[in-house]
Amino acid sequence: MPFLCRGAVVTLQSTLGGSVIAIAIALVVGLMATSRLRSVRGVARAYMEFFRGTSVLVQLFWLFYAMPILTGYQLDKVGAGILALGLNLGAYGSEVVRGAVQAVPPGQREAAVALNFTPYQRMRYVILPQAFVAMVPPMNNLLIELLKTTSLLSVITVTDLAYQGRLLVNSGSDQLVVFALMLVIYFLFSYLITLLMRYVEGRAARVVGRERPRRRRSAPAVEGAR
């Protein structure tokens, strides 16, 4: 367990770092994809298609092995892994953001225009709060996918959970026990992400007034009422 726990800490760090980068990129690129300027939309679309259309493993190799040859700058192996995860999952998340923003009913936009809101005010106070509620469930899936993708970081010798598990198996530990413990740890991390995102979704829904109304207790019958 000490070996697996050390690997689990590295996996958690990689997941948190990659999530921050992925969410930031998703918001920026997703909003760029909804721009009225064709050039801005083109840049966003090029980024989305490139990182969604290439393997995250190849991107990881490029960042850790090829970039030092081209630029002379060597990234830390954990930093390279976090950056690769963020760039790849950010491309998928940007499509989620774009779809959620465009799914806001046109009547909401027209109401904001009628209130003489500026484009920034429409996006900040009307469109994004409603779109955020729709973003959370698919973002939950992407963050869980990012967690599972951290197992690829072991190919550049990042000592994550998958790397430590393979070391234990190669050293003669019981494979069934090691893989069972790894399975439980990955599941617990995934479940924690789900709980957190459900809480965020509930708070966001209450902010925009989408909370399910509570059922009122029926008034007691009045005796003698006709």
C-beta separation of 29 from 91 below 8 A: yes
- The residue that leads in pLDDT, 126 or 214, is 126
Residue in this structure with the two tokens 């998340």, named with its chain if needed: 93
pLDDT confidence tier of residue 13, bands split at 50, 70 and 90: very high
**CA nearest to 154, candidates 133, 168, 136, 137:** 168
Give pLDDT tens digits for 122-142.
888 888 888 998 899 999 999
Q: Where are the domains of the chain?
A: 2-207
Give pLDDT tens digits for 82-95.
999 999 999 999 99
Res 224: pLDDT: 45
Res 89: pLDDT: 94
Q: What is the CATH number of domain 2-207?
A: 1.10.3720.10
Res 83: pLDDT: 94
Q: Classify burial at 83, counting beta carbons within 10 Å of its beta carbon; exposed 0-12, middle 13-18, buried 19 or more.
A: buried
Is the pLDDT assigned to residue 225 strictly greater than 70? no
Is the pLDDT assigned to residue 106 strictly greater than 90? no
Give pLDDT tens digits for 14-37.
999 999 999 999 999 999 999 889
SS3 content of the chain, % helix, strand, coil (to 5): 80, 0, 20
Q: What is the pTM of this model?
A: 0.84
For residues 163 and 151, give the distance between their C-alpha atoms in angstroms, rounded to a whole number: 8
- End-to-end CA separation in angstroms for the chain: 73
Give pLDDT tens digits for 189-208.
999 999 999 999 888 888 77
Is the pLDDT assigned to residue 218 strictly greater than 50? no
Handedness of CA 50, 51, 57, 62 (dihedral sign): positive
Res 206: pLDDT: 84
Is the pLDDT assigned to residue 223 strictly greater than 80? no
pLDDT confidence tier of residue 180, bands split at 50, 70 and 90: very high
Is the pLDDT assigned to residue 220 strictly greater than 70? no
Enumerate long-range contacts of 193-199, CB under 8 Å, 24 or more apart.
Answer: 193/140, 193/143, 193/144, 193/147, 194/140, 194/144, 197/136, 197/137, 197/139, 197/140, 197/143, 198/140
Res 211: pLDDT: 61
